[in-house]
Chains A and B, each alone.
Chain A
Amino acid sequence: MTDLVELKAPSSARRTARSLTLAVGLILVGLHLLVGILTLFWTPYDPTAMTGGRLAPPSWEHWAGTDRLGRDLFTQIMIGSRIALTVGAGAVAIAALIGVTLGVLAAFATRTLDDMLAATFDILIAFPTLLLAMLVVAATETASLFSAILALGIAISAIVGRLTRILAKRVLAMDYITAARTAGSSWLSIVFRHVLPNIWPTLSVNFALQFGIAIIAEASLSYLGLGAPPPNASWGRLLQEAQGTVYTAPFGAVAPGIALVSLVIGMNLLADGLRDIGDPTRRGRR
């Protein structure tokens, strides 16, 4: 009995470390999610109301201080969680829809179409995500929350597309696909029953990583004034507004920065944890 327990000990310790990763990721992302949902119904102050002295340091009344117009920063950061999550989820959803569809199509396509799609992915990936997103925003003419989501979604879809194509090709070369074909499966049923489930573990990890990247990119877009316009308190815009007063009121820049970093780290930890859940051959092992 004791031998058995001892033999099992290291692997279960490692497993705990892994589920700890997942747990911390879930807590960080969950916290932002809860705060984001809360702001739909309640915020400590009206985000546009001047409720205190200008550039006040953190206090009991204003946990993150106030901005240069005397508005409560904590309220704006809370709303920022909602904006960040909306943009991240929207961008990843668009990227998944476009990227997975084109990627699977490329994997099944004839040589010429496959080469064309692969080249398109590579060219799009050669552009930095932010630059590509700026081009899309410029093309939509008016900067809005939706244009930011669309821009990031399109920019990320190339990465998702290329990954999907490679993963799907690898699955299509497997014997069980040949077996399914000899048994009379149609291509569509092969895609939904075998290809997508088998690439999902890797893809979902990538989605979580891209979610984090989209959040940073949205903050950058907003910082440049290309993101959601003023009533939406994006963290990028808060950072940009705090830039001029960073020496007199540093907390105005630090607070949104902490919020941004905690969500992105949470997303990355979640991605790491997801990898083990999605793949049954990894469960219990490792």
Chain B
Amino acid sequence: MSLLKIDSLTIRAGGQVLVKDVSLTIEHGARVGLIGESGSGKSLTAFAVVGLLPPGLKAKGSILLDGVQVIGAADQQLRPLRGSAAAFVFQEPLTALDPLMKIGRQVAEPIARRHRREGRSASRQEIAAEVRHYLERVALPDIDRIANSYPFQVSGGQRQRVAIAMALACRPKLLIADEPTTALDVTTQAEILELLSTLVREEGMALLFISHDLPVVAKVVEEVTVLRRGEIVEQGPVRAVFSAPQHEYTKMLVEAAAAFDRALGEPVR
């Protein structure tokens, strides 16, 4: 059974169609990219997967996450899926962390929740040890200081590592990364990408990587789905799609990325 099977998903806001007839399958341990420009419905599709669409939006079709039908399910039924079946990493690491909670406590929360779900209470020491483990896992330096800091006291790249640690701490089967590198500078971006692909491989998680940035997506995923205005324009293995794009829109994206590379390569006159 596939980990995630989206079948002809349509999302409407009133009369407006935001996502139209999207189908997407993710197997256990697979790495899939979802690309498209702003407003193409990438993030909406991701939120629909855990049943957290903004109020006023209606989803139709079928989403099977870890064998559970998400569309039409009650919040109560979906809550146990969130975190354990799928966990998120967001674009803006500053706002995705609670500004008034120390980092150590924020990482401890998903850990404590996981233990509660598994029906056993963990001691303070056990949880603290796990917090250290996950902060080490995302290669943060000076863990004791960082665990004791507030989010505004650490750098942007470190915050994103914390956010990744929080997602990992849920031990999800699917990690959904929604533009996780967009808010970071280029060097940090490369480090975070490297970290994400290593972690996904080592922990055996599946990855849904959402981005508007072709070269970034190409680095971490095996398969790619290209969305435009809520519709799928192209879908397939990442090499095939990028080396021989079929659809005009994909061609344009590939060409734009290539032009950008050329521009960077040219000497400054």
Residues on A facing B (Cβ under 8 Å):
174-176, 178-186, 193-194, 197-198, 201, 279-281
List 7 A–B pairs whose Cβ atoms lie within 8 Å, in order of A's numbering. Answer: A182-B52, A182-B82, A182-B88, A183-B110, A184-B82, A185-B113, A201-B100
- Closest B residue to A175 using CB positions: B95
Cβ of B211 within 8 Å of any chain A Cβ, yes or no, is no
A279, closest chain B residue (CB):
B100
Secondary structure of the B contact surface, majority rule: loop
Known: A193-B101, A280-B150, A281-B150. A181 touches B96 (CB 8 A): no
For B97-130 the 0/1 string (1 means CB < 8 A from A) is 1111100000001100100000000000000000
Chain B count of residues within 8 A CB distance of the other chain: 31
In the complex, besides A182-B88, A183-B109, A201-B100, 9 extra interface pairs with C-beta distance below 8 angstroms are A176-B95, A176-B98, A182-B82, A182-B86, A182-B87, A193-B101, A194-B101, A198-B99, A281-B150
Q: Are B95 and A193 in contact (CB under 8 A)?
A: no
User: What residue of chain B has the Cβ atom nearest to residue A278's Cβ?
Assistant: B100
- The one of A178, A184, A281 that contacts B90, using a Cβ cutoff of 8 Å: A178
B92/A184 in contact, CB under 8 A = no
Q: Within 8 Å CB of A186, what residues of B?
A: 79
Q: Which residues of B contact A281 (CB under 8 A)?
A: 99-100, 150, 152
Q: Are B83 and A183 in contact (CB under 8 A)?
A: yes
**B85 nearest in chain A by CB position:** A184
**CB < 8 Å neighbour of B50 from A175, A182, A193, A279:** A182
Which residues of B are found within 8 Å of A178, using beta-carbon distances? 52, 90, 96
Give every chain B residue within 8 A of A179 (Cβ-Cβ).
Answer: 88, 90, 96-97, 163, 166
Question: What separation, in Å, do the CA atoms of A174 and B96 have in the docked complex?
Answer: 8
Considering the complex of A and B, which 7 residue pairs feature the smallest CB-CB distances, nearest first? Answer: A184-B83, A184-B82, A175-B95, A182-B88, A183-B83, A175-B96, A176-B98
CA distance A6 to B15 in the complex (A): 63
B254 at the interface (CB under 8 A from A): no
Tell whether, in the assembled complex, residue B113 and residue A174 are in contact, meaning their CB atoms are under 8 Å apart.
no
User: Hey, which chain B residues are within 8 Å of A197, CB to CB?
Assistant: 98, 100-101
- With A175-B95, A176-B97, A197-B100 in contact, do A183 and B88 touch (Cβ < 8 Å)? yes
Q: Which chain B residues lie closer than 8 Å to A280 at the CB level?
A: 100, 150
Binding site for A on B (CB under 8 A): 47, 50, 52, 79-84, 86-88, 90, 92, 95-101, 109-110, 113, 150, 152, 163, 166-167, 170, 176
Residue in B closest to A197 when the chains form the complex, CB atoms: B100
**Shortest CB–CB separation between residue A153 and chain B, in angstroms?**
28
Q: Which residue of A lies closest to B163 (CB)?
A: A179
Question: Is B83 a contact of A176 with CB atoms below 8 Å?
Answer: no
Given contacts A197-B100, A198-B99, A279-B100, contact A184 B150 (CB under 8 A): no
Nearest CB of chain B from residue A21's CB, rounded to whole Å: 22
B113 x A183 contact (CB < 8 A)? yes
**Please, which residues of chain A bring their CB within 8 A of the CB of B110?**
183-184
Which residue of B is nearest A186, CB measured? B79
Contact B87 A183 (CB under 8 A): yes
Contact status of A183 and B99, CB under 8 A, knowing A175-B92, A178-B52, A281-B152: no
Q: Name the A residues within 8 Å of B109 (CB-CB).
A: 180, 183, 185, 193
Q: Of all chain B residues, which has the CB nearest A194?
A: B98
Cβ contact of B167, chosen from A175, A176, A183, A194, cutoff 8 A? A183
Query: Closest CB of chain B to A19's CB: distance in Å?
Result: 20
